[in-house]
Structure 1
Amino acid sequence: MTLKSDPISYPPRGLNREEAARYIGVGLSKFDQLVADRRMPKPKRLDGRTVWDRVALDVAFSQLPEEGQENFFDRAAATKRQ
């Protein structure tokens, strides 16, 4: 399949695992850990491909705590221990 050139430049919406990890700025093992503990979204399946939605990655990344701030996961774990 040959793709036609497009005069409009835009980032791809679907990213493979390596691209998704690079997009948020981490290595593959850290990305896998973030997906496993649900700090990053699970992928979508497109036939035989596993693809992460760039917009969902943006939302998840925005919800990560800034340095020195408590996040949802820390609060939930603290509540569960009580």
Structure 2
Amino acid sequence: MGRPLHASTDRKASAEPARLIIEPRRGLNRVEAARYIGVSPTKYDELVRDGRMPRPKRIDGCVRWDIRQLDAAWDALDGGDGESNEWD
């Protein structure tokens, strides 16, 4: 199923800090789901509570958000302020 999630350990090869390598997958944890839609985890929690983002799936003790449901919820979002803008 691909390489595991890990941080690069070869710091001599590059001056850049270690980065996580995240393989594409369907289930995201809370922090990943928040990052996926571009908000903080705290804001993401608010969006889940008020129904603008989907509730997670529980797999035993594991809580994951379905990336397809995140896409659908994102597509359903309006600006929320009722104002039109130059991008409308």
Moved over 2 A (4+): 66-69
Q: State the distance in 2 between where 1:18 and 1:12 align.
A: 14
Pick aligned residue for 1:20 from 9, 13, 33: 33
Show the counterpart of 1:51: 64
TM-score computed with the length of structure 1 as normaliser: 0.69
Gaps of 5+ in 2: 4-22
Q: Over alpha carbons, which structure has the higher Rg?
A: 2
Which secondary structure state, in structure 2, belongs to the residue aligned with residue 52 of structure 1? Answer: strand
1:63 paired to 2:79: no
The CA distance in 1 between the partners of 2:50 and 2:2, in whole Å, is 39
Which has the larger helix fraction?
A: 1
| Paired residue secondary structure (2:25) | coil
> Relative contact order: is structure 1 or structure 2 higher (C-alpha 8 Å, sep ≥ 6)?
1
Q: CA RMSD in A?
A: 1.8
Aligned length: 63
Distance 1:47 1:63, change over 3 A: same
TM-score (norm 2): 0.65
Sequence identity of aligned pairs in percent?
52
Q: Give 1:57 shift.
A: 0.3
Instruction: Give unpaired runs (5+ residues) of structure 1.
Output: 70-82
